[in-house]
Amino acid sequence: MGSDDEGRIANQGTLIRSIVAGDRSRIAEMVVSTGKFNDEEVATALELVDHALRDGEKSGYVFAVIEETAGDAAVRGYACYGPTPLTQGVYDLYWIVVDPAAQGKGLGRLLTRHVEQDVVNRGGRMLLIETSSQESYVPTVRFYERTGYQLAARIRNFYRIGDDKLIFSKELV
């Protein structure tokens, strides 16, 4: 990966950069287009975007946006992560979304690697990810497993009856 002095990282026809105000509407489109999130979850995702745009990293949320640099150079995915309060070196990956039309190209893997490296650069040692056990999340669970995350905990019936909370973890150092 190559980088420049603005915190942008380029790799094989992609660019990973910090969020800018113009990304909000594209992030909303991507979150909705996955078909996995209800209205409240979409609103929560956008609330985090708004906090980050307004307060920067003081919000507690870091955003990485991935673009394909060929063609229209549109945003194809994003990740939202930040330090876990009251811990030393533990971070949460709150959201990672890749446009369904761009899935299967390795963009999620690039974004995940970027987040992991940034967490390490910030002094982090562990990354946690929470997700649902619903059938529609099976590809998401497989993605986490393929990228080296281990199921650390399962809280039965957490989100609703029959929908467990799965917590994945990865030691980064």
Q: Which residue has the tokens 């761009």?
A: 102
Whole-angstrom distance, CA of residue 68 vs CA of residue 73: 5
The domain in which residue 75 lies consists of 2-171
For residues 6 and 17, the answer to whether their CB atoms sit within 8 Å is yes
Tens of pLDDT, residues 81-90: 999 999 999 9
Specify the pLDDT at position 72. Answer: 74
Calculate ∠ Cα 16-11-22, nearest 5°. 25
**Domain with 49 in it: what CATH number?**
3.40.630.30
Domain count, the chain: 1
Tens of pLDDT, residues 1-46: 444 334 455 566 899 999 999 999 999 999 999 999 999 999 999 9
pTM: 0.91
